[in-house]
Structure 1
Amino acid sequence: MDLSRKTCTPCQGGVSPLTFGEAEILLSQAPGWRLWENGTRLERRFEFQTFATALAFVNRVGDLAESEGHHPDIRFGWGYANILFYTHKIGGLHENDFIMAAKVNELYTDEYSAV
Structure 2
Amino acid sequence: MTEGLASKSCTPCRGEIPPHPREQAESLSRTGPRMAEEAHRIDRSFRFRKFREALTFVQEIGELAEAEGHHPNISFRWGYSAVSLQTKKIKGLHENDFIMATKIDRVFARGAPA
TM range (shorter): over 0.9
My pick for the range that moved more, 1-10 or 60-69, is: 1-10
CA-CA distance at 1:29 after TM superposition: 3.1
Answering whether residue 27 of structure 2 is matched by residue 25 of structure 1, we say: yes
Q: What runs of 5+ residues in structure 2 fail to find an aligned partner?
A: none
1:9 is aligned to 11
Provide, for residues 10-68 of structure 1, a one-character-per-residue CA deviation record: whole Å limited to 9, x for no partner: 0011100011111111112324x3323x2001110000001110000000000000000
1:114 is aligned to 113
Identity %: 45
Distance 1:29 1:56 in 2: 27
SS in 2 for 1:45: strand
Kindly indicate whether the alpha-carbon contact (under 8 Å) linking 1:3 and 1:29 is maintained by their aligned counterparts in 2: no
Q: TM-score, normalised by structure 2?
A: 0.93
Distance 1:107 1:28 in 2: 20
1:67 is aligned to 67
Provide, for residues 56-82 of structure 1, a one-character-per-residue CA deviation record: whole Å limited to 9, x for no partner: 000000000000000000011011100
Distance 2:81 2:30 in 1: 21
The alignment yields a C-alpha RMSD, in angstroms, of 1.2
Q: What runs of 5+ residues in structure 1 fail to find an aligned partner?
A: none
Distance 1:45 1:34 in 2: 12
User: Number of residues paired by the alignment?
Assistant: 112
Answering whether residue 40 of structure 2 is matched by residue 46 of structure 1, we say: no
Moved over 4 A (4+): none
Q: TM-score, normalised by structure 1?
A: 0.92
1:81 is aligned to 81
